[in-house]
Structures are given as structure tokens and as C-alpha cells.
């Protein structure tokens, strides 16, 4: 058995819109994801989060599942439209009551609650006033963050501001494959800036209110050249790395926006949203950085290629389809990417505690005779945990691992077809069944170690 460090924390993660359902209960207002999912053609199979896993009503059972897995931490997100349905203005106490109950339930079972304040469910009234493309949204976000802190801060120690600003900005406002579904590169960059500003303002406001442990959750890309010997591919890597990683991590970690990215963003219009004083706010020190990792990204320089709208201004770059094993999302399975990411960020920021706030895989699971034999997922988790062990041994400060996800859930534009859970959800009955991977994860957590032999391919 190869053990993990004594204080290494095991957990699982979820997000509000993906599991809660109950979208009109107790005064919750509409979010951009309600609007988007109810717009025909936006989400696979026309799925919406209206009911999802009905976690809003079944949270006790779900916390019991976390406890059965033996987990020490649970990462959830707070739905802004439950707490401030108008996006600004009156607080909806009934919405906060839900998170109050959830946090108490977790703590009664010795599970540390880790709260994310924004996992993509912007109140629709704010989108109607410009959404993340306007500064006002960043300011309203910091106000909302404090409201949540004031209610839960006596029991929740660890806070994250945003989940994956890259997705909110580029998928939401650039390619439009996520809510609010806008397709405008200039809007994507303005949104990114205001997301980062909202993060910085919220860190400051939370600190002032008394919070001691505040961070950000990002999904850095591990960008690799299709041809390691090609200088043109190396340039493509530099641009995509800039658009995905440096344009976020540099300002957040105090280095300011990279010059090449400022020039790149300027191609799409004046950066009239930029105020030099913002960089200081965005760089407000954080206490932890959460990393979500799923798969590496490959790029190749191809004159004439249309690029990807997920990376505004990436014309001339091709994103080749993965070779080798992929998940049900079509994402390449490659744990070396996780090790590479942790080495890079850990090497760069040796004093910043890192968490793996999401890692996992979708597979076409089937419930047969009361059992889900998800060997592929076990192998995925096993491989990625071995990568974590390797970098821990090199001295990278990784504090914990949170599997995505506790439950099968609403996988955004992919709807319910993509199953990421350790626990299978039969949506018509809402019955939960821990998959084989849940039993495997429980035994790893109990042993605080991986088995000597890696999980074998089927």
C-alpha cells in the first residue's frame, strides 16, 4: 500500500444547479441556466435543471451518502438566485436557510463543508443588465458573497469565490455553448475581466467580514503541441496557454495581465472595461487554489483552420481529436496531465496550498441487477490518484482530492446523459445506488492509501 500524507483530505464535489432542482422553491429566482436550459436546442435532449437530483429536498440522504463513503470534506456551491433572487437588493432568508441546514447536516457527520460562491448560476436579472460584461455584476457578487458569509461563516471555514472563470467567460459569452449563450469574443474578454474583478472584490469583502480561508477554483489547461518538434505548434501552445491559463493565473497571482494577452484582447475592440487599479484588486492574496482537471488539450498550427470559438482569436489553430482512450465526454484519459499541472503550478507558487477540487470521468453506466460495474471510472480515479501521489512525493503541497462528482447530475449542455457520479441516480425514481467506484473510493479513503497494484484495464 502506498499511503497519502497524514492530513490529506478526501472529498467529493457537486454544484447547485446540477443537483438541487426545486428551481422555484422558497423564493429562488431564475438564473441564466434556467433561461438557457429552457431555450430549445441549447441542451442535449432538452434537459433542464428543474428537478435534477432533487437534492434540495433530499440533501439529508445525500449527506448520508458522503458519510458512508467516509469522506472528510464536501464541496458544494451556493445558488446566488436563492440568496439574492434579484441579483441585487433584498436577501431571501429562506434561500440561506437551505444552506444552513445543509452545513449543519454535514457538520453533524464530521464532514467539512467547502463552499463555492459561484458555480455559473448568475441571477437572470443581472444578465438582463449586461451580465458579466459589466462592472456592476462584479460589485453585486462581492455583496452577495458577504451575505452568505454572514450566515454560514461561523461554520464554513473554506470558501471559493468562482468556479472555473474560463468556462463562465469563454463558453458563456464566447462560443455560447453555456449560459447565457452569447457569441461575442469582445464580450468574452470583458466577462473574464469582471469575473476576476468580482473574485478580487469578494476576497477582500470576505476577509473584511472575518473569513480566514478564501480561494479560487480554476480549470487550467494542460496544453500540448500535436508535434513537439514544430515551432509553429509551440506558438499555438503559447497562445492557447495564454488564453486559458496565463490570462487568469497571472493577474490573480499578482503578475498582472500578460502583455501578449493584452495585445490579443485588443484585437476585438477597446479594452474600455480595463482600469489599471483593478489589477491590484484581482491580485488580492488568496489562501488556497483549487484545480479542476479532466484531460489535456492538444493543439496544432494549421493555416486556414477556423480555430475554436472557446478560444477567441484562435484562428489558424486546430484542436485535434484525442487519440487513445476517452471518456463519454470524448475527453482523453491521461493522468500525466494532472501531474504536469500540479508540478507547474506548485513549482510556480510553492507557498500556495493546492486542492484538487474536481477530477473524475463520465462513462455510459448501466444499472444492472442493482449494481453499476464502472471499472473504467475506477481505473480513471486510480490513475489520477497515483499521479497525485507522485507529485506529493516531490513535495508539491496538495492538501486534498475531491472527486467529481458525488452524484450523477445535470452535466450542463450535455444534460443527464453524461454520468459523472460515484453514485448512480435513477432520475424517474430518484433512487441512488453507489457504483462500484464508490465502493472502491471508500476503501481507498479508509486505507488512506492506494492498493499496491494499479486498477487493471478490463
List active site positions: 164, 358
Between 342 and 402, CB nearer to ligand FCB: 402
| Residue 246 and residue 187 in contact, taking contact as beta carbons nearer than 8 Å | no
The residues in 293-352 that bind ligand FCB, with binding defined as CB under 6 A, are none
C-alpha cell at 440: 472502491
Between 91 and 409, CB nearer to ligand FCB: 409
Tell me the longest C-alpha to C-alpha distance in the chain: 61
Q: How far is the CB of 202 from ligand FCB (least distance, A)?
A: 18
Alpha helices in 2-134 (DSSP H): 16-19, 32-37, 55-68, 80-83, 93-108, 124-128
Q: How far is the CB of 14 from ligand FCB (least distance, A)?
A: 8
The residue behind cell 499541472 is: 341
Does residue 420 belong to the site contacting ligand FCB (CB under 6 A)?
yes
C-alpha cell at 307: 480555430
Cα atoms in the Cβ-side hemisphere of radius 13 Å centred on 420? 26
End-to-end CA distance of the chain: 22
Does residue 47 belong to the site contacting ligand FCB (CB under 6 A)?
no
Question: CB under 6 A: which stretch of 30-38, 110-118, 160-168, 257-265 binds ligand FCB?
Answer: 160-168
Report residue 300: phi and psi, to 5°. -140, 140
DSSP state string for 282-347: HT---SEEEEE----EEEEE-TT----TTSTT-TTEE-PPP-S-B-TTS-B--HHHHHHHHHHHHH
Burial class (CB in 10 A: 0-12, 13-18, 19+), 134: middle
Query: Which one of 9, 11, 12, 15 is in contact with ligand FCB (CB under 6 A)?
Result: 15
Question: CB under 6 A: which stretch of 146-154, 161-169, 310-318, 368-376 binds ligand FCB?
Answer: 161-169
Question: What is the per-residue burial (b if ≥16 Cβ within 10 Å, else e) of 371-398?
Answer: ebbbebbbbbbbbbbbbbbbbbeeebbb
Q: How far is the CB of 114 from ligand FCB (least distance, A)?
A: 14
Q: Is 246 left (phi over 0), alpha (psi -120 to 50) or beta?
A: alpha
Does residue 20 belong to the site contacting ligand FCB (CB under 6 A)?
no
Q: Which residue's CB atom is positioned nearest to ligand FCB?
A: 15
Q: How far is the CB of 12 from ligand FCB (least distance, A)?
A: 12
Contacts with ligand FCB, 97-136, as mask; x by CB under 6 A: ----------------------------------------
Does residue 167 belong to the site contacting ligand FCB (CB under 6 A)?
yes
Does residue 159 belong to the site contacting ligand FCB (CB under 6 A)?
no
Burial class (CB in 10 A: 0-12, 13-18, 19+), 268: middle
Query: Which one of 56, 170, 412, 441 is in contact with ligand FCB (CB under 6 A)?
Result: 412
SS3 of 421, please? Answer: coil
SS3 of 360, please? Answer: coil
Binding-site residue total for ligand FCB (CB under 6 A)?
12
Does residue 401 belong to the site contacting ligand FCB (CB under 6 A)?
no
Query: Which one of 121, 334, 358, 365 is in contact with ligand FCB (CB under 6 A)?
Result: 358
Does residue 31 belong to the site contacting ligand FCB (CB under 6 A)?
no
Does residue 416 belong to the site contacting ligand FCB (CB under 6 A)?
no
Does residue 292 belong to the site contacting ligand FCB (CB under 6 A)?
yes
| Residue 196 and residue 247 in contact, taking contact as beta carbons nearer than 8 Å | no
Question: CB under 6 A: which stretch of 51-59, 159-167, 220-228, 434-442 binds ligand FCB?
Answer: 159-167
Does residue 164 belong to the site contacting ligand FCB (CB under 6 A)?
yes
Q: List, in order, residues 6 or more apart from 42 with CB less than 8 Å away.
A: 36, 179, 181, 413
Query: Which one of 170, 363, 401, 404 is in contact with ligand FCB (CB under 6 A)?
Result: 404
Burial class (CB in 10 A: 0-12, 13-18, 19+), 287: middle
SS3 of 281, please? Answer: helix
Q: How far is the CB of 395 from ligand FCB (least distance, A)?
A: 28
Question: CB under 6 A: which stretch of 88-96, 208-216, 234-242, 404-412 binds ligand FCB?
Answer: 404-412
Does residue 365 belong to the site contacting ligand FCB (CB under 6 A)?
no
Q: What DSSP element (H or E) covers 209?
A: helix 185-209
Between 257 and 404, CB nearer to ligand FCB: 404
Query: Which one of 396, 411, 416, 444 is in contact with ligand FCB (CB under 6 A)?
Result: 411
Does residue 163 belong to the site contacting ligand FCB (CB under 6 A)?
yes
Query: Which one of 31, 91, 92, 219 is in contact with ligand FCB (CB under 6 A)?
Result: 219
Question: CB under 6 A: which stretch of 22-30, 162-170, 180-188, 222-230 binds ligand FCB?
Answer: 162-170
Does residue 33 belong to the site contacting ligand FCB (CB under 6 A)?
no
Between 37 and 163, CB nearer to ligand FCB: 163
- Residues forming contacts to ligand FCB in the complex (CB under 6 A) are 15, 18, 163-164, 167, 219, 292, 358, 404, 411-412, 420
Amino acid at each position: 500500500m502506498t499511503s497519502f500524507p497524514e492530513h490529506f483530505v478526501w472529498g467529493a464535489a457537486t454544484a447547485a444547479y446540477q443537483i438541487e432542482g426545486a428551481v422555484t422553491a422558497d423564493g429562488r429566482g431564475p438564473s441564466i441556466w434556467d433561461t438557457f436550459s429552457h431555450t430549445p436546442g441549447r441542451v442535449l435532449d432538452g434537459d433542464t435543471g428543474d428537478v435534477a437530483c432533487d437534492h434540495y429536498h433530499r440533501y439529508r440522504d445525500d449527506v448520508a451518502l458522503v458519510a458512508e463513503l467516509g469522506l472528510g470534506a464536501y464541496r458544494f456551491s451556493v445558488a446566488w438566485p436563492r440568496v439574492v433572487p434579484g441579483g441585487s437588493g433584498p436577501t431571501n432568508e429562506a434561500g440561506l436557510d437551505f444552506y444552513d441546514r445543509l452545513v449543519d447536516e454535514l457538520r453533524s457527520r464530521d464532514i467539512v463543508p467547502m463552499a463555492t460562491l459561484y458555480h455559473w448560476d448568475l441571477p437572470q436579472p443581472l444578465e438582463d443588465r449586461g451580465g458579466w460584461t459589466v462592472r456592476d455584476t462584479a460589485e453585486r457578487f462581492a455583496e452577495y458573497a458577504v451575505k452568505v458569509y454572514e450566515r454560514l461563516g461561523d461554520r464554513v471555514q473554506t470558501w471559493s469565490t468562482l468556479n472555473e472563470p474560463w468556462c463562465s467567460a469563454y463558453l458563456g459569452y464566447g462560443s455560447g455553448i453555456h449560459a447565457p449563450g452569447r457569441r461575442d469574443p469582445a464580450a468574452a474578454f470583458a466577462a473574464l475581466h469582471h469575473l476576476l474583478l468580482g473574485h478580487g472584490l469578494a476576497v477582500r469583502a470576505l476577509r473584511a467580514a472575518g473569513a480566514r480561508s478564501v480561494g479560487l477554483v480554476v480549470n487550467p489547461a494542460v496544453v500540448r503541441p500535436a508535434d513537439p518538434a514544430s515551432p509553429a505548434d509551440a506558438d499555438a501552445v503559447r497562445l492557447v496557454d495564454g488564453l486559458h491559463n496565463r490570462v487568469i493565473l497571472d493577474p490573480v497571482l499578482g503578475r498582472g495581465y500578460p502583455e501578449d494577452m493584452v495585445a490579443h484582447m485588443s484585437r476585438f475592440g477597446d479594452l474600455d472595461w480595463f482600469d489599471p487599479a483593478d489589477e491590484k484588486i484581482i491580485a488580492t492574496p488568496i489562501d488556497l487554489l483549487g484545480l479542476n482537471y479532466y484531460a489535456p488539450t492538444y493543439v496544432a498550427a494549421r493555416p486556414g483552420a477556423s480555430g475554436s470559438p472557446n478560444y477567441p482569436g484562435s484562428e489558424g489553430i486546430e484542436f485535434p481529436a484525442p487519440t487513445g482512450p476517452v471518456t463519454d465526454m470524448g475527453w482523453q484519459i491521461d493522468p500525466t496531465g494532472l501531474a504536469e499541472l500540479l508540478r507547474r503550478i506548485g513549482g510556480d507558487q510553492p507557498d500556495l496550498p493546492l486542492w484538487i477540487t474536481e477530477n473524475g470521468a463520465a462513462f455510459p453506466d448501466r444499472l444492472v441487477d442493482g449494481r453499476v460495474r464502472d471499472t473504467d471510472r475506477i481505473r480513471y480515479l486510480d490513475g489520477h490518484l497515483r499521479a497525485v501521489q507522485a507529485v506529493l512525493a516531490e513535495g508539491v503541497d496538495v492538501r486534498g482530492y475531491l472527486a467529481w462528482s458525488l452524484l450523477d447530475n445535470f452535466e450542463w449542455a450535455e444534460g443527464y446523459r453524461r454520468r459523472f457520479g460515484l453514485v448512480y441516480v435513477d432520475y424517474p425514481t430518484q433512487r441512488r445506488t453507489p457504483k462500484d467506484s464508490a465502493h472502491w473510493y471508500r476503501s481507498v479513503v479508509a486505507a488512506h492509501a492506494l492498493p499496491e497494484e494499479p486498477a487493471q484495464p478490463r
